[in-house]
Structure 1
Amino acid sequence: MHSVFRRVQRLLSPYSIHQHYPALHALRVALGYLVTVALSVVFKVPDGAWMSVTLLIVMGSLPHLGSVYQKARQRGIGTVGGALAGIVAIYLYGRSPLACYLWMGACAAASGYLAIGKLGYIALIAGVTLTIVAGHGDNSFETALWRALNVQLGGMIALMFARLLPQRAVNHWKYLLADNLRDCAALYGRVAVLDLPDEATVQETFDRLNKRLIAQRGLMSAVAGEVSLTVAELDRIQRTQRNMLGLLELMVEVCRNPSRHAEFASMRKQVEHNQRRAQALMRTTAHALKFDRLDRLTRIGYAPQAEVTALPAGASDAGFEAVGYVWLNIKLLRQVERINAALLETASAWYRPPVRA
């Protein structure tokens, strides 16, 4: 029984869900869609197709729980606003079709104006709902109310199915950061011993790192919507990570010069401890993020150190590039320590202890 529980636990773990989230997301959308169809058919809901349309729009391109919540709230506001505007349009159409068309034109103009700002999604949904509910003003009040209700029901069903084995944005963000730290540790290990991969391999590595960095930026809003991490805290980690990649890229360029390798090798003793600590900290932090092992994150831990204002003993007599090599190693360690410190400070938001048998 214990082994079965462990197997199920691994299958339903956040990392396993992340690995298979395209298939799981497709399954969630399909089940939600079938539920809306069943409700429409069994209860003969008038204009029930709009329930299915709403579910597909809310869930279709938003696999993360935080994104679905955020969009569903915005869609709810837009739907109510659009439905009310549609009812007004139907009322005006019964008095004067021209007044109805002028009203709908004004609403469309307002929707277009607001759609390019912070209220863009709300304004867009309000404009679409206006047309769904009112048509060209010639729909009945009963049709308008049924369509508005179906849109709201579709959003509620989408929220319900979004909680079925959810792909949380905070987990996706953690795994992207963990993969970047792991790849940085591997590349830095080669840099530390002056054994660089070929230029094409290095470029592929940096392309992967930057792609993940951009993906993390796109998740920040959804992460902030799921947990108590603020966008400012996430941005601080993002900037530090970007600084770390920049320093690593500079180190690669500095170490490209074979004529300096002997000098760098002699200077390595000055920074060998920093190099070992930086690599260990990157690997353990990556493991802590990927497998929710907070004990790994605190094992090495962040030891506050004064900002370096002088080179290590013996470094000042070296050449300019060798001095730069030493400085880059020291600065890289500082960035890794800052990421570790930021994660420790915010652990209560992103850490979820695993369930034990």
Structure 2
Amino acid sequence: MAQSESNPAAVRSVPPPRRARSRLARIWRALASPFYRYRNARLIHGIRVGLAMMASILATSGIHIPHGIWASVTVLVVIGGLQHHGNIRKKATERSLGTLLGAGIGLALIGLQALTHSMALTYVLMSVVAGVCGWHAIGKSGYVALLTAITMCIVAGHGDNLIDTGLWRTLNVMIGIVIALAFSFVLPLHATYSWRYRLADNLRDCANIYTQVVRGEPADSEVLVPAFMRMNDRLVQLRVLMPSVAKEIDVPLARLEAIQRLHRSLLSALEIMTTGMERYERQIVQVAFAGRGARVRESLLATARALRFGGARHPDVAARALRPLDGEESYVHGGERRAPGDALPEPSAVPLAPEMQGPYWLGLRVEEQVDLLRALLLETEPRWNIERASVHRMA
């Protein structure tokens, strides 16, 4: 009887398997989180390159494919210095095209050398091809031209390689491209996420600085200078990311450029408001925008939240956050009804004292830039909100 009573207790002491499953689920959710991958991008990229290198070794030397080192070299060329998925796909496409062209030229040179037995002719032709590739390397398709010349040398050597050597090396280069592409899909690091999160950080900082200005708080240079340095650094990083983002989400680069221009103008206007105004001018801004500062701040924070938290679990949260706030469909400004995207009236439309016109105009420009930036992001949201787009494709 005692033994039968102790069995249920022993059974209850065993931890349920549900805990282990929930722990694994939490780990998987962390790895699948775009923000987690963004915060640990360098670590993930390093692990991915190491695993891709191991795969290239096993796929070639592991089964004794001759000249397998060129597969590993190709993996490093394609994926080594590029962490974003769009860049890797672009580099792999260019590498494939350059490899095919270079391999074809290299094999042709090997065949020509076998027919003519003229090393001088082979050297001259290789030099001519290298010169043509060098001319095209300074241009839009520079990487393709450069890879064509490099692959020609890998396949043909100086024209003295055997035809089977050239074919094996071509095969190894293609194996390396396939491996690099395959590993680019493992926990992909999209440039779009980096673009979104950096822009969200800047907009959140802009909201904090703008709030200080409209409240008339004194500008502390020891705080503001580092803040603007961080925002300007992010602005430069966003510029670098734009070509990759345009390819990943299929948005015209001109549209991203418009967002970047408004972003840059907003930072410049805020910097003038914080450092270019005297104390009495900041007090004028405080009076003039007493009822409007909260709206601009909320617009900036809502836009930052949309960029940061738009995700697969709540795919429509970004679009909802970017839509006009409650009561914002149209509001009265100087006796005139205006929609959020409409142009703001000029300061001359409102009777103002001369000393108020400059600060007032600058404040209006900030408000207008925030509205236009928000409208552009709402227009392109179905593209940059990758999680929502993937959910719609699955549906």
Answer yes or no: same fold by TM over 0.5: yes
Over 3 Å counting, the alpha-carbon distance change for 1:194 and 1:230 in structure 2 is: same
Residue 85 of structure 2: aligned partner: 65
What one-letter code is carried by the residue in structure 1 that aligns with 2:376? A
Q: For the residues of structure 2 that align with 1:38 and 1:247, how far apart are their CA atoms?
A: 56
Q: Given the alignment of the two structures, is residue 231 of structure 1 paired with residue 258 of structure 2, yes or no?
A: no
Q: Report the Cα offset of residue 3 of structure 1.
A: 5.7
**For the aligned residues, what is the CA RMSD?**
2.0
Asked whether the equivalents of residues 274 and 329 of structure 1 are also in contact (C-alpha less than 8 Å), the reply is no
Asked whether the equivalents of residues 181 and 282 of structure 1 are also in contact (C-alpha less than 8 Å), the reply is yes
What one-letter code is carried by the residue in structure 2 that aligns with 1:270? A
Q: For the residues of structure 1 that align with 2:188 and 2:162, how far apart are their CA atoms?
A: 39
Residue 307 of structure 1: aligned partner: 344
Asked whether the equivalents of residues 219 and 275 of structure 2 are also in contact (C-alpha less than 8 Å), the reply is no
Q: For the residues of structure 1 that align with 2:124 and 2:199, how far apart are their CA atoms?
A: 52
Q: Given the alignment of the two structures, is residue 335 of structure 1 paired with residue 369 of structure 2, yes or no?
A: yes
Q: For the residues of structure 1 that align with 2:59 and 2:177, how far apart are their CA atoms?
A: 14
1:310-339 per-position Cα deviation (integer Å, ceiling 9, x unaligned) = 35755x2241xx321111111001111111
Q: For the residues of structure 2 that align with 1:343 and 1:89, how far apart are their CA atoms?
A: 53
TM-score (norm 2): 0.83
Q: Report the Cα offset of residue 198 of structure 1.
A: 2.5
Q: Given the alignment of the two structures, is residue 77 of structure 1 paired with residue 60 of structure 2, yes or no?
A: no
Q: Report the Cα offset of residue 201 of structure 1.
A: 2.6
Correspondence 1:196-235 to 2 at 5 A: 196-235=218-257
Q: Given the alignment of the two structures, is residue 12 of structure 1 paired with residue 12 of structure 2, yes or no?
A: no
Q: For the residues of structure 1 that align with 2:178 and 2:195, how far apart are their CA atoms?
A: 26
1:292-325 per-position Cα deviation (integer Å, ceiling 9, x unaligned) = 13122226278223331235755x2241xx3211
TM-score (norm 1): 0.92
Correspondence 1:135-284 to 2 at 5 A: 135-255=157-277, 257-258=278-279, 260-261=280-281, 264-284=282-302
Report which of the two structures shows the higher radius of gyration computed on alpha carbons: 2
Over 3 Å counting, the alpha-carbon distance change for 1:291 and 1:104 in structure 2 is: same
SS at match of 1:47: coil
What fraction of aligned residue pairs are identical, expressed as a percent? 35
Q: Report the Cα offset of residue 270 of structure 1.
A: 2.3
Residue of 62, 68, 80 corresponding to 1:42: 62
Gaps of 5+ in 2: 1-17, 311-316, 330-339
What one-letter code is carried by the residue in structure 1 that aligns with 2:210? Y
Q: For the residues of structure 1 that align with 2:182 and 2:197, how far apart are their CA atoms?
A: 25
1:259-284 per-position Cα deviation (integer Å, ceiling 9, x unaligned) = x25xx424533222332221111111
Q: For the residues of structure 2 that align with 1:211 and 1:118, how far apart are their CA atoms?
A: 27
Which structure is higher in RCO with an 8 Å CA cutoff and minimum separation 6?
Answer: 1
Q: For the residues of structure 2 that align with 1:109 and 1:228, how far apart are their CA atoms?
A: 35
Q: For the residues of structure 2 that align with 1:278 and 1:350, how far apart are their CA atoms?
A: 23
Q: Report the Cα offset of residue 136 of structure 1.
A: 0.7
